[in-house]
Amino acid sequence: MTRIFLVGFMACGKTTLGKNLAKSLGLSFVDLDMYIEGRYYKSVSDIFSELGEEKFREIERRILHEVSEFEDVVISTGGGTPCFFDNMEYMNTMGETIYLNTNTERIAERIKAAGDKRPLVRGKKDDELKIYIEEMKKKRESFYKKAKHTLDSTFLEDYSQIRETVSKAIEILSL
Ligand code: S3P
């Protein structure tokens, strides 16, 4: 039975890598945010604005426990998932965990390219966004680093880069 969790900052490539890794290994793929959105019939943004972050974190934890029962699956988590409750320790007991590490410049580019969909960075100007990413990364890194493996996910901009990063993931997992 294989269960792989991908963790890391917003826009570090968890969903892109997760889908492709799952496909290469013949596993199912679950994106935690999308799963929550399907369950609540609301976007993560709307959950944040209507119920608040604290409630979102409770929902996120509960749904994390639900999807962690699935077998033969790659699960991409939200950027904050490992940083609340005992979520990171829990994921480590439930399967393999990979921290996708990406530099601030690349994260900022991807966040901008994705538009306004992320509630925590909505409306931030370029400089402000980079400072925010740097500060948040410092706070969150100690949680991400508890993952069993770390993988550089700076290069996921075209299919050959994605394929290469998928191969590295398979190698570090010894699969
Ligand atoms: C969050 C990251 C988002 C989403 C929510 C909160 C965070 O997921 O879970 O907006 O706290 O960093 P992505 O990492 O997929 O952007």
Helices first, then strands: H and E counts in the chain: 8, 5
Q: Ligand 1 pocket: which residues have CB below 6 Å?
A: 10-11, 33, 44, 78-80, 118-120
Q: What percent of the chain has pLDDT over 90?
A: 96
Distance 3 CA to ligand 1 centre (A): 21
Q: Could you give the 3-state DSSP secondary structure of residue 101?
A: strand
pLDDT tens-digit map of 130-173: 999 999 999 999 999 999 999 999 999 999 999 999 999 999 99
DSSP state of 81: G
Distance 76 CA to ligand 1 centre (A): 11
Distance 32 CA to ligand 1 centre (A): 10
Max CA pair span of the chain: 44
Please, what is the average pLDDT of the chain? Answer: 96
Helix axes 53-67, 32-40, angle to 10 degrees: 110
Task: Among 9, 10, 76, 87, say which to mutate for ligand 1: greatest number of ligand atoms within 8 Å of CB.
Answer: 10
pLDDT tens-digit map of 112-132: 998 878 999 999 999 999 999
- HSE-CB of 77 using CA atoms within 13 angstroms: 35
User: pTM score > 0.95 for this model?
Assistant: yes
